[in-house]
Structure 1
């Protein structure tokens, strides 16, 4: 299942080479919401893996971005005790116009190119 959130990019961290074949990178969005007249600010940390680790490079701190992500959880047992970790794995980032939720065309990362003009030659 895929999720999405829009917020302000407030931190980008370095790429970490976890093994010879696996690398990760983290970044943080600030998300503020007005709940009953009180502004609540949350900081949401995301993880990018492998070829997605370059995604945050296209954006500057302070940019409003939309992030699409998956929630992934892992369980392991160490010393007879169950341990759990949850990651928000980002797979797409795009710029957002301030004050709007619509993405700015052409600023999405890893988007397919726009389709060429298609001639509709169907007889109906």
Structure 2
């Protein structure tokens, strides 16, 4: 599953518990009629994947849905859903790499001998 949009927030890496569990969160805002602010978690060794990214960049994030059950002290079951990121791609950089470089302006010569009547190749 993928989430595509603009980075709204990237949090710092946080460590939890005695075993050193690491988690880093980011928010991606989708670009649609009703934009959604999607919280995505990166855990353990994936937290460093966010280092090169900045707020405002357009990205595509590959995620897995993760659901879990928690029994509270009163014995009631509570359910939680999270999106775990496992890959992130910079769409701004990808778009600029697809475009060939533009030659400098002085590489073009003006068309001085253009006569519209001679170059009319329309079939009608």
C-alpha contact (below 8 Å) 1:48/1:89 kept by paired residues: yes
Q: Work out the number of aligned pairs and report it.
A: 96
Q: How well do the aligned residues superpose, as a CA RMSD in angstroms?
A: 2.1
Whose Rg is larger?
A: 2
Post-superposition CA distance 1:36-89 (Å, at most 9, x none): xxx211100000000001111111110001100100000021111110111100
- Is 1:55 the counterpart of 2:55? The answer is no
More strand by share: 1
Partner of 1:92: 87
Q: Distance in 2 between matches of 1:103 and 1:61?
A: 18
More helix by share: 2
Residue segments in structure 1 that go unaligned for 5+ positions in a row: 34-38, 106-124
User: Which 4+ runs in 1 deviate beyond 4 A?
Assistant: 102-105
Q: 1:44 aligns with which of 29, 38, 62?
A: 38
What TM-score does the superposition give when structure 1 sets the normalisation length?
Answer: 0.70
